[in-house]
Amino acid sequence: MLWIKALHIVFVASWFAGLFYLPRIYVNLAMVPAESVAERERLLLMARKLLRFTSILAVPALVLGLMLWGVYGIGKGPGNGWMHAKFLVVALALAYHHACAKLLRVFSAGGNTKSHVWYRWFNEAPVLLMLAAVVLVVVKPF
């Protein structure tokens, strides 16, 4: 079980690293002048590659987490309300990941209408999600 836990932590951290950085690329994309086609294309390529890699990393993170819960019983039983909250945090992280993919499609189509400031704020969400997940798992507040 300890190997599963260790790998789960590594894949979650790696997945979130992508979720931390991808919106930073969007900040830069939102700031690219219209005449800077090469810069825009380079940033789009970086964003596509990072989204693909981040999506791949999410799969083992989720599978290993479900194994810890389903096979090893972590978070099951009475007094484990924190696990229900963690499932909500994971669902929100998946929704954020999906939103990042949707935003990339908007950028690729040239339809972005949001400012770089909006993306700077959007970039803070995965930090809060990871903080919530770590606190729930370590502190187990309920």
Residue-wise pLDDT tens digits, 102-132: 999 999 999 999 999 999 999 999 999 999 9
The string of pLDDT tens digits covering residues 43-76 is: 999 999 999 999 999 999 999 999 999 999 999 9
What's the rounded Cα separation, in Å, for the pair 34 and 48? 20
Sign of the torsion formed by the C-alpha atoms of 127, 132, 133 and 138 = positive
Mapped onto helix, strand or coil, the DSSP state of residue 130 is helix
* Residue 100 burial class via C-beta count within 10 angstroms: exposed 0-12, middle 13-18, buried 19 and up: buried
